[in-house]
Amino acid sequence: MIFFILRRVALGCAILAVVAILLFTMMHLIPGDPSVVALGPRSTPEMREAFRQLMGLDKSVPEQLGLFLGRLAHGDLGEDVWSRRPVAVMIWEVLPYTVTLALTSLAWAVGLGTLLGCVAVTHHGRWPDWLIGVLSVGFVAVPSFVVALYSLLVFAVALNWLPAIGAGEPGNLASQAKALILPSFAIGLGWVGYIARIVRAAMIEAMGEPYVRTLRAFGVAEGRIVYAYALKQGFLAVVSVIAIGFGGLLTGSVFAEIVFSRPGLGKMTYDAVISRNYPIVIGTVLVTSALYVTCMIVADVAVAWLDPRVRRSL
């Protein structure tokens, strides 16, 4: 098991190194002089040269790449072009908003999706199963930005039940929780249908296993078979997609934070792209990739820990 974890961690580090090199290459392939973008077209040649020396742009590309990877190895993501603040500090300030939004969306999506999957299995072949199937496909088919815009218009503008923008008042948990409802609903709804379909398929497969027939032969109640045995199989299937779901929710938080004007990695990335603030773009993408890779490693370890067959295959 320890060798399995070490192998996954090494693979994650290799993926992040490739992502960093690709980002560095893409930033240098974009046309235009970064010093002109940062200082404006009215800047003097002396000012641009001083900026290039300060940012290390006067060195060759291999030297810049070596310095970039060296700084990353020490946790240094560079400085903001405009405020000259460390990018790592700026990301650390907004990271809790994005992680909270993604975790809240994932939590209620997993809870409701698992519940709908269980109800569909217990009513397999009857109208609740068909209804849940239709709703699940509908949830997956509707784009998240459409859900965000319509929920904003209905619940914030027309009914005035929930705040339209912002992350709530600082220090007021009730206000912050209300501000989380609409964004988490917008980006989590699609995953409700996805998880419900996965749980239903995994539990129906488990219900056809020989040990389930044995349990029925011994007179075990059907409800206990579904919720005490088949649900475990459905939960294993959900665990394997939680990491993918968390990565998708982090990506979906980009438009949610823009539509609802919330602070976070998504809004910071959007603002940095608009202003061509490359150190922040690279930093936010790298941090998002690191979170995604970490979730994948945790999911792999969790599945290996829960399923003895996976542990025996190591």
On the question of pLDDT at 133 being above 60, the answer is yes
Q: Which residues pair with 86 in a beta bridge?
A: 79
Query: Which phi-psi region, left, alpha or beta, contains residue 219 (left: φ > 0; alpha: ψ -120 to 50)?
Result: left
Confidence of residue 34 (pLDDT cuts 50, 70, 90): low
Amino acid identity, residue 43? S
Token readout for 78 is 């560079």
Distance CA 230, CA 75 (A): 44
Residue whose tokens read 């939960």: 235
pLDDT of 128: 85
The 10s digit of each residue's pLDDT in 84-96 is 788 888 888 888 8
CB 51 within 8 A of CB 33: no
pLDDT of 269: 85
Question: Residue 229, Cα to own-chain centre: how many angstroms?
Answer: 30
Angle CA 138–140–144, to nearest 5: 105
Confidence of residue 312 (pLDDT cuts 50, 70, 90): low
Do you know the residue count of the chain?
A: 314
- Long-range contacts for 262-266 (Cβ within 8 Å, ≥24 apart)? 262/97, 262/101, 262/165, 262/166, 262/167, 262/179, 262/183, 263/94, 263/97, 263/167, 264/94, 264/95, 264/97, 264/98, 264/101, 265/91, 265/94, 265/95, 265/98, 266/98
Distance CA 15, CA 11 (A): 6
